[in-house]
Amino acid sequence: MPHYYFDHNATAPVAPEVLRGLAETLGETYGNASSIHYFGQAAKQKLESARRQLAASVGCDPREIVFTSGGTEADNLALFGIGRRKPGHVITTGIEHPAVLSACAQLEREGHNVTYMPVSRSGVADPAHIRSALRPETNLITVMHANNETGVIQPIAEIGAIAKEAGVIFHSDAVQTAGRIPLNVRELGVDLLSMSGHKFGAPKGIGALYVSKGVELQPLLYGGRHERERRAGTENVAGAWAMGLAAASRLDWNHLSPLRDRLERGILHRIPAVRVNGGFSHRLPNTTNLCFEGIEGEAMVIALDLRGYAVSSGSACSSGAVEPSHVLLAMGLSREEARSSVRFSLGPSNTKEQVDSLIEAVVDSVAHLRRISVAEVAHV
């Protein structure tokens, strides 16, 4: 049975050109980028070349890029790096990734204050609300660029302008957008921006934080003087190289929107009582999050997987079981609606044929699930 992948917001496959060069980079450029000898210099060159490529892709200076182990570390470095400098106040939203929300919860435990802004029914944070939440002691605003579950894009430039006016540092978790759609840190007005390599063709284990010149971070890790003393630890040269190459290939996922629309329209046309969560908002070109009235999203994910289609629902807890999405709940969906929602996220390798067969599988699956839930109600 063939297996098709429609879960690119969880992670994307390594890009073919990256895959081709990865073994060679690992095998030949094995020096420690901090070493002074030939091997060290070769590694350093690869690292810095990657830094330049990544910087160019988001419109910043290479010195403003700090490589990390991934998006979570980038988010943590941003939040703790600013938050722990002195007691203060952080403004964020209820739809952030756990890498931000859990870090906020930890800041609260350490005595800092955090305000979680609500979002609209369409999943968008309101810049005016954020402005009104500002306090004299506010030292950080953090709002994600695009939401991983709904794909809804947040008004980052507007919030950036508010932050700048208030003199507050502004961080954005751009894990779902960086490397996928055109993005410029200056236009967005961010001081800090998190990126993750594996979302756009690099392997897992590499990420980066853009740190605007002049912003001082308290480090998370203590050790050697790597990354201009902002992130200790021997650099992941091959990972950085891969992330730089993936960023430089400038793969624009905007070309995926017709395919996503084909999937969305196909499903909406064929199945009654389906709603697009965040459907009226500006969204990532590859994502659709659908609420299928009367079905368990978790069951649908398993049923589709057993037929060869990988999609996702809610967020996995430590055991692997699914809990209702905090993002959908924050958008005002009921727990039942949240549990009935399934995310489809496309990537460059998906084809029209795959999408069409996915539509058929979804039609069958929803019909079956609804028959069962009707029988259940009758049974009660």
Partner 1 sequence: MSDLIAVAMSGGVDSSTVAALLKREGHNIAGLTMQLWNQRRLPELTTDETTGRCCSLDDVYDARRVAEHVGIPYYVVNLERQFEESVVAPFVDEYLAGRTPIPCTLCNTFIKFDQFLTLADSVGAKAIATGHYARVSRNEQTGRWQMRTARDFSKDQTYFLWGLTQEQLSRTMFPLGEMVKSEVRDLAIEFDLPVAKKAESYEICFVPNGDYAAFIDSYLGEKGLSREETAGRIMHEDGREVGKHTGAHHFTVGQRKGLGIAAKEPLYVIATDPKSQTVTVGGNDSLLRSTLTVKGINWLSWTGLPATARANVRIRNRHLPAPATLCPLEDGRVEVQFDEPQRAVTPGQGAVFYSGDLVIAGGWIE
Gap between the Cα atoms of 241 and 202, Å rounded: 9
Q: How far is the CB of 314 from partner 1 (least distance, A)?
A: 9
Q: Cβ contacts of residue 273 below 8 Å, gap of 6+?
A: 292, 293, 294
Of the pair 84, 368, the CB lying nearest partner 1 is at: 368
Q: Does 378 bind partner 1 (CB under 8 A)?
A: no
In this structure, the number of other CB atoms found within 10 A of the CB of residue 118 comes to: 13
Taking contact as CB under 8 A, which single stretch among the options 21-29, 99-107, 215-223, 366-374 is the one that binds partner 1? 366-374
Phi, psi of 221 (to 5 degrees): -110, 140
Helices (H) then strands (E): counts for the chain: 13, 14
| Least distance from partner 1 to the Cβ atom of residue 250, Å | 37
CA nearest neighbour of 259 among 1, 4, 3, 2: 4
Note the Cα 198 to chain centre separation in Å: 10
Least distance from partner 1 to the Cβ atom of residue 320, Å: 4
Alpha carbons 123 and 332: distance in angstroms, whole number: 9
* Residues near partner 1 (CB under 8 A), total: 20
Site for partner 1, residues 321 to 360, rule: CB under 8 A: 321-323
| Separation of alpha carbons 379 and 326, rounded Å | 31
C-alpha to C-alpha distance for 304 and 65, rounded to whole angstroms: 40
Q: What is the DSSP letter of 283?
A: B
317 is catalytic: yes
Binding partner 1 (rule: CB under 8 A), the pick from 65, 202, 208, 303 is: 303
Residue 317 found at the interface with partner 1 (CB under 8 A): yes
- Shortest reach from residue 323's CB to partner 1, in Å: 6
Strand 192-196 vs strand 207-211: parallel, antiparallel, or unpaired? antiparallel
- Does residue 307 bind partner 1 (CB under 8 A)? yes
Nearest residue (CB) to partner 1, 215 versus 299: 299
Cβ-based nearer residue to partner 1, 293 or 305: 305
> Of 214, 320, 353, 378, which one interacts with partner 1 (CB under 8 A)?
320
Query: CB of residue 3 vs partner 1: minimum separation in angstroms?
Result: 11
188 is a contact residue toward partner 1 (CB under 8 A): no
Tell me if 368 contacts partner 1 by CB under 8 A: yes
Query: Is residue 306 a contact point for partner 1 (CB under 8 A)?
Result: yes
For residue 108, give both structure tokens: 């609260």
Phi then psi for residue 370, to 5 deg, are -70, -35
Least Å distance, CB 344 to partner 1, is 18
* Position 372 contacts partner 1 (CB under 8 A): yes
**318 lies in the binding site for partner 1 (CB under 8 A):** yes
Candidates 60, 104, 291, 317; catalytic one: 317
Distances (CA, A) of 65 to 31, 58, 182, 195, 212: 21, 10, 17, 10, 9
Tell me which of 181, 298, 326, 345 binds partner 1, using CB under 8 A: 298
Q: Which residues are catalytic?
A: 317
List contacts with partner 1 (CB under 8 A). Answer: 296, 298-300, 302-303, 305-307, 317-323, 368-369, 372, 376
